[in-house]
Amino acid sequence: MDAALDDVEFLALSANRVAVLQSLAGAPRSRSDLAAETGASQATLGRILADFEERSWVRRRDGEYEATATGKLVANAFSDLLDVLETERDLRDIVDSLPTEAMGFDLARLADATITVPTETRPNAPLQRLIGLEREAAAIRAFSHAFNEQTLSLTAERVSEGNLTFKGVFSRGAIDALARESTLRRRLESLLDAPDAAVRVRDSRVPVAGTLADDRVHLLVRDDNGVLRASIDTDDPVVVDWAEAAFEEYWESATPLDRSDIGDE
């Protein structure tokens, strides 16, 4: 373990070492190629390559350097570690608000996700990211413990115009909140009247606010006080598979909603 940690430290202490090893893991390079690609001086490259040869991570052949099988192994593993750490840094400020118990996928799958957080000038940036995706989608499947006004209004409008098919399953509390306000209730009623929309209500809480906008998954992240912390969206196939399965699970355990379930004005 100590020797392995020493090698991790050896690589981590120099961005040039990482860049050189990753480059050579991709294809053989001359020293001039490495200098142009990494910006490292010839003296620095000489020390790095000598250290790598000592560890049998690279070898010289026909005037070029190439990664050995073990060098490629180290380069790929270190790249994976960097990807994980970059994802962790992206999620660090919101991890306490993530419904991880309901997110049935490895968080590493979010490495290429778009993470949108509120700012002073755009406090609703996460919600606006969702609205933008929903505005362009041809089909939406939603599962959530909330149904906000902007999403409801856009969905009802686009479905009534024939530009969208919608299926949504929500916790009962989300529907009850809409039914208590006359304007929102009317918008919900118009959605229920549309032939290309179907809404179901679930007595048990839906623990995550998820949307499948075509083949892209969007998650709204709120803290325990209901404060919007971030949105996360990705088209990673593993996350898409999870979202589709989660939607079907919540949908099958819910009951259809109609006008009689939301009361009169």
- Sheet of 139-144, strands arranged across: 114-116, 228-234, 216-222, 209-213, 139-144, 165-171, 197-202, 255-256
Looking at residue 262, what is its pLDDT? 80
The per-residue pLDDT for 218 is: 97
Reported as a single tens digit per residue, the pLDDT across 116-172 is 999 989 999 999 999 999 999 999 999 999 999 999 999 999 999 999 999 999 999
Q: Can you list the positions of beta strands (E) in the chain?
A: 58-61, 64-67, 114-116, 139-144, 165-171, 197-202, 209-213, 216-222, 228-234, 255-256
Q: Which residues contact 123 (CB under 8 A, 6 or more apart)?
A: none
Predicted pLDDT of residue 136: 96
At the fourth CATH level, which superfamily is domain 98-261? Endonuclease Chain A (3.30.870.10)
Which has the closest alpha carbon to 12: 74, 91, 55? Answer: 74
Q: How confident is the model at residue 188 (pLDDT cuts 50, 70, 90)?
A: very high
Does residue 264 surpass a pLDDT of 80? no
Q: How confident is the model at residue 224 (pLDDT cuts 50, 70, 90)?
A: confident
Maximum Cα–Cα distance across the chain: 83
Q: Where in the chain is the domain with CATH 1.10.10.10?
A: 2-87
Q: In which band, very low, low, confident or very high, does the pLDDT at 263 lie, cut at 50, 70 and 90?
A: low
Domain 2-87 fold:
Arc Repressor Mutant, subunit A (1.10.10)
Q: Is the pLDDT of residue 265 over 60?
A: no
Residue-averaged pLDDT of the chain: 93
> What sign for the dihedral angle of Cα 42, 48, 52, 57?
negative
The position carrying tokens 């490629």 is 72
pLDDT score of 261: 76
Supply the pLDDT for residue 47: 95
pLDDT for 1 equals 61
Tell me the C-alpha distance between 52 and 64, whole Å. 14
Where in the chain is CATH 3.30.870.10? Answer: 98-261
Instruction: Find the range with the poorest average confidence among 1-10, 38-47, 204-213, 239-248.
Output: 1-10
Tens-place pLDDT, residues 64-103? 999 999 999 999 999 989 988 988 988 998 999 998 999 9
> What is the average per-residue pLDDT within 14-25?
95
Q: What local confidence, expressed as pLDDT, does residue 195 receive?
A: 93
Q: Which of 160, 140, 141, 157 is nearest to 149 (CA)?
A: 157
65: closest CA among 32, 34, 28?
A: 28
**In this prediction, what percent of the chain has a pLDDT beyond 70?**
98
Place 115 in a pLDDT band, splitting at 50, 70 and 90.
Answer: very high
- Model confidence at 253, pLDDT cuts 50, 70, 90, reads very high
